Structure 1
Amino acid sequence: MHIDAWIESVPPNAVYALVALIIGLESLGIPLPGEIALVSAALLSAKGVVSPVWVAGCAIAGAIIGDSIGYSIGRKGGKQLFEKLGRKFPKHFGPDHLASAERSFQKWGMWAVFFGRFIALLRIFAGPLAGALKMPYWKFLIANVLGGVVWAGGTTLLVYQVGKVAEQWLSRFSWVGLLLAVLIGTLSAWIMKRKAAKSAKQREAENAAAATSSAAAEPTAAAPAVD
Protein backbone atom coordinates (compact mmCIF):
# COMPACT_ATOMS: atom_id res chain seq x y z
CA MET A 1 0.00 0.00 0.00
CA HIS A 2 1.31 3.45 -0.90
CA ILE A 3 1.91 5.97 1.87
CA ASP A 4 -0.91 8.27 0.71
CA ALA A 5 -3.44 5.42 0.66
CA TRP A 6 -2.18 4.28 4.07
CA ILE A 7 -2.69 7.74 5.60
CA GLU A 8 -6.20 7.96 4.17
CA SER A 9 -7.09 4.56 5.62
CA VAL A 10 -6.22 5.26 9.28
CA PRO A 11 -8.47 7.01 11.82
CA PRO A 12 -8.25 10.85 11.73
CA ASN A 13 -6.45 11.15 15.07
CA ALA A 14 -3.77 8.71 13.90
CA VAL A 15 -3.03 10.89 10.86
CA TYR A 16 -1.30 13.49 13.03
CA ALA A 17 0.96 10.90 14.65
CA LEU A 18 1.80 9.32 11.31
CA VAL A 19 2.71 12.65 9.73
CA ALA A 20 4.97 13.57 12.66
CA LEU A 21 6.58 10.10 12.70
CA ILE A 22 7.24 9.83 8.96
CA ILE A 23 8.61 13.37 8.65
CA GLY A 24 10.63 12.95 11.85
CA LEU A 25 12.24 9.72 10.64
CA GLU A 26 12.99 11.23 7.24
CA SER A 27 14.58 14.28 8.88
CA LEU A 28 16.60 11.96 11.11
CA GLY A 29 18.18 10.45 8.01
CA ILE A 30 15.90 7.55 7.05
CA PRO A 31 14.74 7.81 3.41
CA LEU A 32 10.96 8.00 3.76
CA PRO A 33 8.40 9.96 1.65
CA GLY A 34 7.78 12.75 4.16
CA GLU A 35 6.56 15.21 1.55
CA ILE A 36 3.98 12.75 0.21
CA ALA A 37 2.73 12.12 3.74
CA LEU A 38 2.39 15.86 4.38
CA VAL A 39 0.57 16.55 1.11
CA SER A 40 -1.80 13.59 1.68
CA ALA A 41 -2.65 14.81 5.18
CA ALA A 42 -3.13 18.38 3.95
CA LEU A 43 -5.57 17.13 1.29
CA LEU A 44 -7.50 15.30 4.01
CA SER A 45 -7.68 18.56 5.95
CA ALA A 46 -9.16 20.25 2.88
CA LYS A 47 -11.93 17.62 2.96
CA GLY A 48 -12.58 18.36 6.63
CA VAL A 49 -11.33 14.96 7.85
CA VAL A 50 -8.49 16.43 9.94
CA SER A 51 -7.45 19.89 11.11
CA PRO A 52 -4.92 21.77 8.92
CA VAL A 53 -3.53 23.48 12.01
CA TRP A 54 -2.79 20.16 13.69
CA VAL A 55 -1.34 18.71 10.48
CA ALA A 56 1.02 21.67 10.14
CA GLY A 57 1.92 21.61 13.85
CA CYS A 58 2.72 17.89 13.87
CA ALA A 59 4.71 18.17 10.66
CA ILE A 60 6.72 21.10 12.04
CA ALA A 61 7.40 19.24 15.30
CA GLY A 62 8.45 16.09 13.43
CA ALA A 63 10.77 18.04 11.15
CA ILE A 64 12.49 19.97 13.96
CA ILE A 65 12.83 17.04 16.37
CA GLY A 66 13.94 14.62 13.65
CA ASP A 67 16.57 17.00 12.34
CA SER A 68 17.88 17.64 15.87
CA ILE A 69 18.23 13.91 16.56
CA GLY A 70 19.93 13.48 13.19
CA TYR A 71 22.32 16.31 14.07
CA SER A 72 23.27 14.55 17.34
CA ILE A 73 23.82 11.23 15.55
CA GLY A 74 25.96 12.88 12.88
CA ARG A 75 28.03 14.76 15.45
CA LYS A 76 28.81 11.56 17.34
CA GLY A 77 29.30 9.32 14.32
CA GLY A 78 31.14 11.80 12.09
CA LYS A 79 31.71 11.26 8.40
CA GLN A 80 32.61 7.62 9.07
CA LEU A 81 28.89 7.08 9.69
CA PHE A 82 28.07 8.14 6.12
CA GLU A 83 30.82 5.93 4.73
CA LYS A 84 29.30 2.91 6.50
CA LEU A 85 25.81 3.83 5.37
CA GLY A 86 27.10 4.34 1.82
CA ARG A 87 28.42 0.78 1.71
CA LYS A 88 25.15 -0.65 3.03
CA PHE A 89 22.71 1.66 1.23
CA PRO A 90 24.49 2.97 -1.90
CA LYS A 91 21.18 3.97 -3.49
CA HIS A 92 20.51 6.59 -0.81
CA PHE A 93 23.86 7.26 0.88
CA GLY A 94 26.36 6.66 -1.93
CA PRO A 95 29.51 8.74 -2.39
CA ASP A 96 27.87 10.88 -5.09
CA HIS A 97 24.94 11.74 -2.82
CA LEU A 98 27.27 12.61 0.05
CA ALA A 99 29.58 14.71 -2.15
CA SER A 100 26.60 16.67 -3.53
CA ALA A 101 25.27 17.35 -0.04
CA GLU A 102 28.71 18.38 1.21
CA ARG A 103 29.12 20.87 -1.63
CA SER A 104 25.79 22.43 -0.71
CA PHE A 105 26.89 22.82 2.91
CA GLN A 106 30.24 24.31 1.93
CA LYS A 107 28.53 26.82 -0.35
CA TRP A 108 25.51 27.79 1.76
CA GLY A 109 26.49 26.95 5.34
CA MET A 110 23.53 27.06 7.74
CA TRP A 111 21.21 28.01 4.87
CA ALA A 112 21.79 24.54 3.42
CA VAL A 113 19.79 23.27 6.40
CA PHE A 114 16.99 25.76 5.67
CA PHE A 115 16.81 25.20 1.91
CA GLY A 116 17.52 21.50 2.36
CA ARG A 117 14.06 21.17 3.85
CA PHE A 118 12.65 21.78 0.35
CA ILE A 119 14.98 19.32 -1.46
CA ALA A 120 14.47 15.58 -1.04
CA LEU A 121 18.17 14.66 -0.97
CA LEU A 122 19.20 17.37 1.48
CA ARG A 123 16.12 16.77 3.63
CA ILE A 124 17.57 13.35 4.51
CA PHE A 125 21.18 14.54 4.86
CA ALA A 126 20.74 17.97 6.49
CA GLY A 127 20.63 17.01 10.16
CA PRO A 128 23.23 14.23 10.27
CA LEU A 129 25.61 15.99 7.88
CA ALA A 130 25.41 19.30 9.79
CA GLY A 131 26.43 17.38 12.91
CA ALA A 132 29.19 15.47 11.13
CA LEU A 133 30.62 18.74 9.77
CA LYS A 134 30.55 20.22 13.32
CA MET A 135 28.21 23.10 12.47
CA PRO A 136 27.52 25.11 15.67
CA TYR A 137 24.25 23.88 17.10
CA TRP A 138 22.73 27.35 17.51
CA LYS A 139 23.17 28.03 13.79
CA PHE A 140 21.73 24.63 12.96
CA LEU A 141 18.78 25.15 15.29
CA ILE A 142 17.84 28.53 13.78
CA ALA A 143 17.93 27.16 10.23
CA ASN A 144 16.19 23.97 11.34
CA VAL A 145 13.27 25.76 13.02
CA LEU A 146 12.84 28.29 10.19
CA GLY A 147 13.00 25.59 7.55
CA GLY A 148 10.55 23.34 9.37
CA VAL A 149 8.01 26.12 9.91
CA VAL A 150 8.18 27.48 6.35
CA TRP A 151 8.24 24.06 4.64
CA ALA A 152 5.65 22.22 6.75
CA GLY A 153 3.42 25.21 7.45
CA GLY A 154 3.64 26.60 3.92
CA THR A 155 3.03 23.24 2.24
CA THR A 156 0.03 22.50 4.44
CA LEU A 157 -1.50 25.95 3.81
CA LEU A 158 -0.92 25.79 0.06
CA VAL A 159 -2.30 22.26 -0.38
CA TYR A 160 -5.24 23.04 1.92
CA GLN A 161 -6.22 26.12 -0.12
CA VAL A 162 -5.81 24.31 -3.44
CA GLY A 163 -7.78 21.36 -2.09
CA LYS A 164 -10.67 23.57 -0.98
CA VAL A 165 -10.87 25.23 -4.40
CA ALA A 166 -10.69 21.86 -6.14
CA GLU A 167 -13.38 20.43 -3.87
CA GLN A 168 -15.74 23.33 -4.68
CA TRP A 169 -15.08 22.88 -8.39
CA LEU A 170 -15.61 19.12 -8.21
CA SER A 171 -18.89 19.60 -6.35
CA ARG A 172 -20.18 21.43 -9.43
CA PHE A 173 -18.65 18.95 -11.82
CA SER A 174 -21.89 17.04 -12.47
CA TRP A 175 -23.61 20.23 -13.73
CA VAL A 176 -20.53 21.31 -15.65
CA GLY A 177 -20.19 17.85 -17.16
CA LEU A 178 -23.86 17.78 -18.18
CA LEU A 179 -23.63 21.22 -19.79
CA LEU A 180 -20.45 20.28 -21.64
CA ALA A 181 -22.03 17.03 -22.83
CA VAL A 182 -25.04 18.91 -24.22
CA LEU A 183 -22.85 21.51 -25.94
CA ILE A 184 -20.52 18.89 -27.40
CA GLY A 185 -23.48 16.79 -28.56
CA THR A 186 -25.16 19.79 -30.22
CA LEU A 187 -21.92 20.88 -31.87
CA SER A 188 -21.21 17.35 -33.11
CA ALA A 189 -24.72 17.03 -34.57
CA TRP A 190 -24.37 20.42 -36.35
CA ILE A 191 -20.98 19.46 -37.79
CA MET A 192 -22.26 16.07 -38.96
CA LYS A 193 -25.31 17.71 -40.56
CA ARG A 194 -23.12 20.18 -42.43
CA LYS A 195 -20.81 17.42 -43.62
CA ALA A 196 -23.79 15.34 -44.79
CA ALA A 197 -25.25 18.30 -46.71
CA LYS A 198 -21.86 19.04 -48.29
CA SER A 199 -21.42 15.40 -49.30
CA ALA A 200 -24.93 15.33 -50.84
CA LYS A 201 -24.21 18.46 -52.91
CA GLN A 202 -20.90 17.01 -54.02
CA ARG A 203 -22.57 13.74 -55.11
CA GLU A 204 -25.25 15.69 -57.04
CA ALA A 205 -22.56 17.70 -58.82
CA GLU A 206 -20.63 14.54 -59.67
CA ASN A 207 -23.79 12.80 -60.98
CA ALA A 208 -24.68 15.84 -63.12
CA ALA A 209 -21.15 15.96 -64.54
CA ALA A 210 -21.26 12.24 -65.29
CA ALA A 211 -24.61 12.57 -67.05
CA THR A 212 -23.29 15.43 -69.18
CA SER A 213 -20.19 13.48 -70.16
CA SER A 214 -22.28 10.42 -71.04
CA ALA A 215 -24.60 12.45 -73.28
CA ALA A 216 -21.66 14.05 -75.10
CA ALA A 217 -20.10 10.67 -75.77
CA GLU A 218 -23.19 9.21 -77.57
CA PRO A 219 -22.83 9.14 -81.44
CA THR A 220 -25.02 11.55 -83.44
CA ALA A 221 -27.86 9.79 -85.23
CA ALA A 222 -27.30 9.33 -89.02
CA ALA A 223 -29.26 11.74 -91.25
CA PRO A 224 -31.88 10.17 -93.69
CA ALA A 225 -30.69 9.58 -97.33
CA VAL A 226 -32.00 11.93 -100.10
CA ASP A 227 -33.13 10.45 -103.47
Structure 2
Amino acid sequence: MTSFLDPFIAFVSAHAWLAYLTLFLAALLEAVPVVGSVVPGSTIILALSALVPGGELKLQWVLLAAVIGAVLGDGSAYWIGHRQQRDILNTWPLTNYPRLVEESESFFHRFGTWAVFFARFVPPIRAFVPVTAGALGMAPAKFYAINIPAILVWAPAHVLPGVLAVSALHEYAGLHHHGHVGKHIWILTVIAVAIVLGAAVWLVRRRNGGGVVEAKPPV
Protein backbone atom coordinates (compact mmCIF):
# COMPACT_ATOMS: atom_id res chain seq x y z
CA MET A 1 0.00 0.00 0.00
CA THR A 2 2.73 2.45 0.97
CA SER A 3 4.77 1.62 -2.12
CA PHE A 4 1.78 2.64 -4.27
CA LEU A 5 0.54 5.69 -2.39
CA ASP A 6 3.93 7.34 -1.82
CA PRO A 7 4.64 8.03 -5.53
CA PHE A 8 0.95 8.77 -6.14
CA ILE A 9 0.87 11.43 -3.43
CA ALA A 10 4.12 12.89 -4.75
CA PHE A 11 2.50 13.12 -8.19
CA VAL A 12 -0.79 14.71 -7.12
CA SER A 13 1.11 17.24 -5.02
CA ALA A 14 2.15 18.79 -8.33
CA HIS A 15 -1.37 18.51 -9.79
CA ALA A 16 -3.79 20.02 -7.29
CA TRP A 17 -6.91 19.37 -9.38
CA LEU A 18 -6.10 15.64 -9.37
CA ALA A 19 -5.58 15.69 -5.61
CA TYR A 20 -8.99 17.30 -5.04
CA LEU A 21 -10.61 14.81 -7.43
CA THR A 22 -8.95 11.96 -5.55
CA LEU A 23 -10.22 13.32 -2.24
CA PHE A 24 -13.73 13.59 -3.67
CA LEU A 25 -13.67 10.03 -5.03
CA ALA A 26 -12.16 8.60 -1.85
CA ALA A 27 -14.95 10.13 0.25
CA LEU A 28 -17.62 9.06 -2.24
CA LEU A 29 -16.44 5.46 -2.60
CA GLU A 30 -16.28 5.00 1.18
CA ALA A 31 -20.09 5.20 1.17
CA VAL A 32 -20.57 2.59 -1.58
CA PRO A 33 -21.61 -0.79 -0.13
CA VAL A 34 -18.87 -3.43 -0.46
CA VAL A 35 -16.52 -1.00 -2.26
CA GLY A 36 -16.34 1.26 0.78
CA SER A 37 -15.25 -1.63 2.98
CA VAL A 38 -12.11 -2.23 0.92
CA VAL A 39 -11.14 1.19 -0.49
CA PRO A 40 -8.72 2.93 1.96
CA GLY A 41 -10.57 6.22 1.66
CA SER A 42 -9.71 7.46 5.14
CA THR A 43 -6.02 6.71 4.63
CA ILE A 44 -6.00 8.57 1.31
CA ILE A 45 -7.76 11.60 2.82
CA LEU A 46 -5.39 11.73 5.78
CA ALA A 47 -2.33 11.36 3.56
CA LEU A 48 -3.40 14.08 1.15
CA SER A 49 -4.31 16.41 4.00
CA ALA A 50 -0.63 16.31 4.95
CA LEU A 51 0.06 18.34 1.80
CA VAL A 52 -1.84 21.36 3.13
CA PRO A 53 0.91 22.80 5.39
CA GLY A 54 3.36 22.80 2.48
CA GLY A 55 0.97 24.82 0.33
CA GLU A 56 0.38 22.13 -2.30
CA LEU A 57 -3.31 21.99 -1.36
CA LYS A 58 -5.72 24.48 0.23
CA LEU A 59 -7.47 23.42 3.43
CA GLN A 60 -10.88 24.80 2.44
CA TRP A 61 -10.86 22.91 -0.86
CA VAL A 62 -9.69 19.70 0.79
CA LEU A 63 -12.58 19.89 3.26
CA LEU A 64 -15.06 20.80 0.53
CA ALA A 65 -13.99 17.90 -1.71
CA ALA A 66 -14.30 15.44 1.19
CA VAL A 67 -17.70 16.80 2.28
CA ILE A 68 -19.23 16.81 -1.21
CA GLY A 69 -17.93 13.31 -1.94
CA ALA A 70 -19.31 11.95 1.32
CA VAL A 71 -22.70 13.66 0.90
CA LEU A 72 -23.12 12.33 -2.65
CA GLY A 73 -21.89 8.87 -1.69
CA ASP A 74 -24.10 8.50 1.37
CA GLY A 75 -27.05 10.09 -0.40
CA SER A 76 -26.78 7.80 -3.43
CA ALA A 77 -26.56 4.69 -1.24
CA TYR A 78 -29.53 5.88 0.83
CA TRP A 79 -31.73 6.51 -2.22
CA ILE A 80 -30.91 3.11 -3.72
CA GLY A 81 -32.06 1.52 -0.47
CA HIS A 82 -35.07 3.84 -0.23
CA ARG A 83 -36.27 2.95 -3.74
CA GLN A 84 -35.72 -0.80 -3.55
CA GLN A 85 -36.53 -1.22 0.15
CA ARG A 86 -35.44 -4.53 1.74
CA ASP A 87 -34.99 -6.18 -1.65
CA ILE A 88 -31.63 -4.43 -2.02
CA LEU A 89 -30.30 -6.19 1.08
CA ASN A 90 -30.97 -9.55 -0.58
CA THR A 91 -29.39 -8.58 -3.88
CA TRP A 92 -25.86 -9.18 -5.18
CA PRO A 93 -23.26 -8.05 -4.18
CA LEU A 94 -24.70 -7.52 -0.67
CA THR A 95 -25.58 -11.21 -0.51
CA ASN A 96 -21.85 -11.92 -0.49
CA TYR A 97 -21.49 -10.01 2.79
CA PRO A 98 -24.33 -11.30 4.99
CA ARG A 99 -22.44 -10.61 8.20
CA LEU A 100 -21.89 -6.91 7.41
CA VAL A 101 -25.51 -6.55 6.31
CA GLU A 102 -26.68 -8.12 9.57
CA GLU A 103 -24.33 -5.94 11.60
CA SER A 104 -25.61 -2.85 9.82
CA GLU A 105 -29.23 -3.78 10.54
CA SER A 106 -28.39 -4.53 14.17
CA PHE A 107 -26.49 -1.24 14.45
CA PHE A 108 -29.41 0.67 12.92
CA HIS A 109 -32.02 -0.98 15.16
CA ARG A 110 -29.91 -0.41 18.28
CA PHE A 111 -29.15 3.28 17.73
CA GLY A 112 -32.08 4.32 15.57
CA THR A 113 -31.54 7.52 13.58
CA TRP A 114 -28.27 8.13 15.43
CA ALA A 115 -26.84 5.05 13.71
CA VAL A 116 -26.40 7.23 10.62
CA PHE A 117 -24.22 9.61 12.65
CA PHE A 118 -22.12 7.00 14.48
CA ALA A 119 -21.62 4.81 11.41
CA ARG A 120 -19.72 7.64 9.69
CA PHE A 121 -16.88 6.92 12.14
CA VAL A 122 -17.08 3.11 12.29
CA PRO A 123 -15.62 1.18 9.35
CA PRO A 124 -16.52 -1.09 7.64
CA ILE A 125 -20.26 -0.73 8.37
CA ARG A 126 -19.95 2.94 7.35
CA ALA A 127 -20.40 1.68 3.78
CA PHE A 128 -23.54 -0.31 4.62
CA VAL A 129 -25.59 1.85 7.00
CA PRO A 130 -26.82 4.48 4.47
CA VAL A 131 -28.28 1.84 2.12
CA THR A 132 -29.65 -0.03 5.15
CA ALA A 133 -31.30 3.15 6.47
CA GLY A 134 -33.06 3.59 3.13
CA ALA A 135 -34.02 -0.07 2.92
CA LEU A 136 -35.55 0.00 6.40
CA GLY A 137 -37.72 3.01 5.56
CA MET A 138 -35.94 5.88 7.26
CA ALA A 139 -37.51 9.14 6.03
CA PRO A 140 -35.29 11.30 3.76
CA ALA A 141 -35.62 14.35 6.03
CA LYS A 142 -34.45 12.37 9.06
CA PHE A 143 -31.59 10.80 7.12
CA TYR A 144 -30.17 14.09 5.88
CA ALA A 145 -30.79 15.84 9.21
CA ILE A 146 -28.37 13.34 10.81
CA ASN A 147 -26.11 12.51 7.86
CA ILE A 148 -25.02 16.02 6.87
CA PRO A 149 -23.98 17.10 10.41
CA ALA A 150 -22.16 13.77 10.75
CA ILE A 151 -20.21 14.47 7.56
CA LEU A 152 -19.42 18.02 8.70
CA VAL A 153 -17.82 16.49 11.80
CA TRP A 154 -16.25 13.54 9.97
CA ALA A 155 -14.42 15.63 7.35
CA PRO A 156 -12.44 17.83 9.78
CA ALA A 157 -11.82 14.79 12.00
CA HIS A 158 -10.06 13.11 9.07
CA VAL A 159 -8.35 16.14 7.56
CA LEU A 160 -7.20 18.27 10.50
CA PRO A 161 -5.09 15.64 12.33
CA GLY A 162 -2.82 15.30 9.30
CA VAL A 163 -2.67 19.06 8.79
CA LEU A 164 -1.89 19.84 12.43
CA ALA A 165 0.61 17.01 12.79
CA VAL A 166 2.62 18.01 9.72
CA SER A 167 2.45 21.69 10.71
CA ALA A 168 3.86 20.79 14.12
CA LEU A 169 6.54 18.70 12.44
CA HIS A 170 7.50 21.65 10.24
CA GLU A 171 7.85 23.90 13.25
CA TYR A 172 9.69 21.36 15.37
CA ALA A 173 12.20 20.06 12.86
CA GLY A 174 12.25 22.87 10.32
CA LEU A 175 11.32 20.49 7.53
CA HIS A 176 9.87 22.56 4.70
CA HIS A 177 10.72 20.28 1.81
CA HIS A 178 7.96 17.87 0.78
CA GLY A 179 10.41 15.04 0.17
CA HIS A 180 11.48 15.13 3.81
CA VAL A 181 7.96 15.41 5.17
CA GLY A 182 6.84 12.45 3.06
CA LYS A 183 8.98 10.09 5.16
CA HIS A 184 6.83 10.89 8.19
CA ILE A 185 3.39 10.90 6.57
CA TRP A 186 2.64 7.26 7.31
CA ILE A 187 3.53 7.47 10.99
CA LEU A 188 1.30 10.53 11.31
CA THR A 189 -1.47 8.80 9.37
CA VAL A 190 -1.46 5.79 11.70
CA ILE A 191 -1.60 8.07 14.75
CA ALA A 192 -4.45 10.14 13.28
CA VAL A 193 -6.44 7.03 12.32
CA ALA A 194 -5.99 5.62 15.83
CA ILE A 195 -7.28 8.87 17.35
CA VAL A 196 -10.34 9.00 15.08
CA LEU A 197 -11.21 5.31 15.54
CA GLY A 198 -10.65 5.53 19.27
CA ALA A 199 -13.04 8.47 19.54
CA ALA A 200 -15.64 6.62 17.44
CA VAL A 201 -15.45 3.48 19.59
CA TRP A 202 -15.75 5.57 22.75
CA LEU A 203 -18.86 7.31 21.42
CA VAL A 204 -20.51 4.04 20.39
CA ARG A 205 -19.75 2.32 23.69
CA ARG A 206 -20.95 5.34 25.65
CA ARG A 207 -24.21 5.34 23.69
CA ASN A 208 -24.51 1.57 24.15
CA GLY A 209 -23.80 1.61 27.86
CA GLY A 210 -20.45 -0.10 27.42
CA GLY A 211 -21.84 -2.92 25.35
CA VAL A 212 -20.75 -4.24 22.00
CA VAL A 213 -22.96 -4.30 18.94
CA GLU A 214 -23.67 -7.93 18.17
CA ALA A 215 -24.65 -9.07 14.74
CA LYS A 216 -27.42 -11.62 14.22
CA PRO A 217 -26.25 -14.81 12.51
CA PRO A 218 -27.19 -15.00 8.82
CA VAL A 219 -30.36 -16.96 8.13
Match of residue 57, structure 2, among 37, 50, 54: 50
Change in 2 beyond 3 A, CA 1:100/1:161 = same
Counterpart-to-counterpart distance in 2, 1:34 and 1:4? 15
Q: Which residue of 2 aligns with 1:104?
A: 107
Whose Rg is larger?
1
The residue that corresponds to 1:86 in the other structure is 94
Aligned residue-pair number? 167
1:44, distance to aligned residue in structure 2 (A): 1.0
Q: 5+ unaligned residues in a row in structure 2: which ranges?
A: 176-219
What does residue range 20-169 of structure 1 map to in structure 2 within 5 Å?
A: 20-29=24-33, 30-31=35-36, 32-83=39-90, 84-87=92-95, 90=96, 94-169=97-172
Higher helix content, 1 or 2: 1
Cα 1:4/1:54, change in 2 over 3 Å: farther
**Residue number in structure 2 paired with 1:18:** 22
| Offset of residue 132 of structure 1 | 0.8
Q: How far apart are the structure 2 equivalents of 1:4 and 1:74?
A: 36
Alpha-carbon contact 1:116-1:123 (below 8 Å) kept = yes
Measure the CA separation in 2 of the matches of 1:97 and 1:141.
23
| Matching residue within 9, 22, 30 for 2:11 | 9
Distance 1:81 1:22 in 2: 23
Aligned counterparts of 2:118 and 2:7: Cα–Cα separation in 1: 28
- Residue 136 of structure 1 aligns with an amino acid whose one-letter code is A
Residues 68/3 of structure 1: CA separation in 2 closer, same or farther (3 Å cut): farther
Distance 1:40 1:171, change over 3 A: same
Structure 2: distance between partners of 1:5 and 1:21: 18
Deviations 1:17-56 (A, max 9, x none): 1111121122132222211121011111122210111101
Q: 1:123 and 1:4, CA in 2 relative to 1: closer, same or farther beyond 3 A?
A: farther
Runs (4+) of structure 1 exceeding 3 A deviation are 1-5
Write the distance in 1 (CA, Å) between the matches of 2:113 and 2:9: 33
Please provide the CA RMSD for this pair.
1.8
Residue identity over aligned pairs, in percent, reads 28
Q: Is the 8 A contact 2:26 2:42 kept in 1?
A: no
Instruction: Determine helix, strand or coil for the equivalent of 1:28.
Output: coil
CA distance 1:135–1:124, shift in 2 (3 Å): same
Residue 3 of structure 1: how far off its partner (Å): 4.5
Alpha carbons of structure 1 residues 3 and 113: separation in structure 2 relative to 1, 3 Å: farther
Tell me the amino acid that sits aligned with residue 134 of structure 2.
G
Q: Please show how residues 165-204 of structure 1 align to structure 2 within 5 Å.
A: 165-171=168-174
Q: How many angstroms apart in 2 are the aligned matches of 1:52 and 1:4? A: 20
Provide closer, same or farther for how the CA distance between residues 168 and 116 of structure 1 changes in structure 2, counting only shifts above 3 A: same
TM-score (norm 2): 0.70
Going from structure 1 to structure 2, the CA distance change for 1:144 and 1:166 (only over 3 Å counts) comes to same
